[in-house]
Amino acid sequence: MKIQFPIIVIAAVLACSDKQSSVAELTDQRIKRLINQFSQPDWPMVYTAKDTLESLEHRSLPYLFDMLTNDNTFVKLSNTADLIYPGATEFYGHGWVIDYDLDWLQIRAGWAIEDITFQNFGFREYKITEEILFEIEKDTALYTKYLETGTYDLKVSPDAKRKIKETTAKALQWWKENRLSWTRLEGIQGAIGSHDTRRVMDALQYLRFGDHCITGLDRGYFVEKIEPIIVELTESNNIDIREDARLILEDVHADNTEDEDGVKYFSELSDKCWQENILQQSI
């Protein structure tokens, strides 16, 4: 028995290690597959992949930052329906507005990164104009390639390249400094307490309409760390921030809060996420 006991322990440790390696490998394969889907032209596929990447929080960020460092390939979105974004070619007078030029893969990666981290690196600043698209459509070879592959390799102006490079460098520097310890819980708290209007609005919009739970954001954490900041935001000079902050405070302390259309907002998110054992999401 004295000989067998350490052997059994070692075997158990090895089995556990093998299991962890298998889970890590499965996760790696899954996220790589999501990144591939996120890079495709089909908008429903892109959004579905992005939605899942967001739910994975920090686990998806290394892959999105790898995507960010790749060449700035142009992949024109298709099947966008009433999506309104800088590259949209049809407008129906209504629709979901995303102010990122999602046809550029670097900016598409930036969109996901900024949504997950609640940072504002500047990826919303760069747009492709209709004039550029018309010029490319005149190029028979490029247009034929697009019809075959769904992608364009566009020539970007030196100034636009420089700005995109600067924005990418800013994001990569942030990731270098934060990749070992960052959590999305830290991200939303930092955004709400920042003086960056876009970051504050993104965080407040998440609290009102977010689809995915943030690990660790339970009622206790909200009351202790986030609610005091939101109370201060009800006095903001920005009317949108002030209104969102007010509505969140009303909703989070109300039962079954509904708007005039019967839609639940923050109370629905809290019902889904603020459970005692929700602190660790499964992958």
pLDDT in tens, 161-174: 778 889 999 999 99
Query: pTM here?
Result: 0.76
Give me the chain's average pLDDT, please: 78
Residue 12 has pLDDT above 80, yes or no: no
Band (282; pLDDT cuts 50, 70, 90): very low
Q: What is the pLDDT of residue 64?
A: 97
Q: What is the pLDDT of residue 101?
A: 86
Average pLDDT over residues 117-141: 68
The answer to whether the beta carbons of residues 76 and 41 sit under 8 Å apart is yes
Q: What is the pLDDT of residue 278?
A: 41
Band (19; pLDDT cuts 50, 70, 90): very low
Q: What is the pLDDT of residue 267?
A: 55
Q: What is the pLDDT of residue 153?
A: 53
Q: CA angle 268-184-116, nearest 5°?
A: 85
Residue 128 has pLDDT above 80, yes or no: no
237-248 tens-digit pLDDT: 999 999 999 998
Amino acid at position 3, single letter: I
Average pLDDT over residues 15-28: 54
216-236 tens-digit pLDDT: 988 888 989 999 999 999 999
Determine what percent of the chain is predicted with pLDDT higher than 70.
65
The residue with greater pLDDT, 126 or 183, is: 183
The residue with greater pLDDT, 107 or 20, is: 107
Average pLDDT over residues 81-87: 80
Average pLDDT over residues 249-273: 60
Average pLDDT over residues 200-227: 90
Average pLDDT over residues 92-121: 88
Band (273; pLDDT cuts 50, 70, 90): confident
Q: What is the pLDDT of residue 206?
A: 92
Band (16; pLDDT cuts 50, 70, 90): very low
46-59 tens-digit pLDDT: 999 999 999 999 99
Q: What is the pLDDT of residue 253?
A: 74
135-170 tens-digit pLDDT: 555 566 665 665 555 455 555 566 767 788 899 999
